[in-house]
């Protein structure tokens, strides 16, 4: 399983939100570029960047940081947050970004989104689907988790698979930033329904044991943020896990 460290960017600073709430933000005294280089030095090959200004306001304040991480490391960079227009999609697809993560725009403006992408560019897109579990049904939230799309998860995944998309970042919002463990049952359900697709698990990873649990159910990738920033998963544990992979 690929372990993908996450760096969330707000006003060019490294932060974490609790369950996506901008009123519950933690700022970390870490330079985003130096943090990315640190993860690279430990053996990470990928990095996940979230432009929270883009997510909240629809306008990025963090492009220079994303560009610097792309140009000054050898990491395979995937980035999302507020990608809601043809211009922003084209900007990043014309860059050296490895993967572009798109959520709200892909869900809410589905027909327009599909029309903007040729089949050979779809392999560079990760579809981000953020869910709240309501009566045991995962319901998709959009616009920084502030709006209910009125769509449910499994049929939506199927719709995108039918259009040639194969990679999905699935976040259980109730777990995000809580360090209470990932939603293992949710990922089991997705794996049971769809194969093969690349599911990237996100939300709640708190320990090395959580990574092992995800690996044991054949999740292909996991995004890990707060547990690395707060040393719940140590550098040594991170290196050991990467070496096993």
Q: Is the pTM of this model over 0.85?
A: yes
pLDDT greater than 80 at residue 19:
no
Contact between 106 and 98 (Cβ < 8 Å): no
Is 130 assigned a catalytic role? yes
Task: Report pLDDT for 245.
Answer: 65
pLDDT at 147: 82
Nearest to 62 by CA among 23, 39, 29, 88: 88
Cα gap 172→159, rounded to integer Å = 20
Residue 186 has pLDDT above 90, yes or no: yes
> Which residue among the candidates 51, 130, 172, 210 is catalytic per the annotation?
130
Measured in Å, how far apart are the chain's first and last C-alpha atoms?
Answer: 6
Contact between 194 and 220 under an 8 Å Cβ cutoff? The reply is no
pLDDT band at residue 75 using 50, 70 and 90 as cut-offs: very high
Domains within the chain, CATH numbers bracketed? 2-244 (3.20.20.70)
CA gap 169, 222 in Å, rounded:
9
Q: Render the burial of 19-52: b for 16+ CB within 10 Å, e for the rest.
A: ebeeeeeeebeeebbebbbebbeeebebbbbbbb
The answer to whether 8 is a known catalytic residue is yes
Query: What average pLDDT score do residues 101-123 get?
Result: 94
Residue 37: partners with Cβ closer than 8 Å, 6 or more residues away: 72, 73
């Amino acid at each position: 399983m690929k372990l993908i460290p996450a760096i969330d960017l707000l006003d060019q600073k490294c932060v974490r939100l609790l369950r996506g709430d901008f009123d519950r933000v933690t700022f970390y005294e870490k330079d985003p570029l130096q943090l990315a280089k640190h993860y690279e030095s430990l053996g990470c090959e990928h990095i996940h960047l979230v432009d929270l200004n883009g997510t909240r306001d629809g306008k990025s304040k963090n492009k220079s940081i994303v560009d610097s991480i792309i140009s000054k490391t050898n990491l395979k960079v995937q980035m999302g947050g507020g990608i809601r227009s043809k211009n922003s999609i084209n900007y990043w697809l014309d860059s050296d970004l490895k993967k572009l993560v798109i959520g709200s725009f892909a869900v809410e403006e589905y027909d327009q989104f599909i029309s903007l992408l040729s089949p050979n560019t779809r392999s560079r897109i990760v579809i981000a689907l953020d869910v709240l579990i309501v009566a045991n049904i995962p319901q998709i939230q959009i616009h920084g988790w502030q709006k209910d799309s009125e769509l449910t998860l499994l049929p939506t995944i199927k719709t995108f698979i039918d259009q040639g998309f194969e990679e999905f970042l699935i976040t259980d919002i109730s777990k995000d930033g809580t360090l209470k463990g990932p939603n293992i049952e949710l990922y089991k359900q997705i794996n049971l329904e769809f194969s093969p697709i690349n599911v990237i698990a996100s939300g709640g990873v708190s320990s090395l044991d959580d990574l092992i649990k995800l690996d044991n159910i054949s999740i292909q990738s996991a995004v890990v943020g707060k547990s690395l920033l707060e040393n719940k998963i140590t550098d040594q544990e991170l290196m050991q896990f990467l070496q096993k992979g």
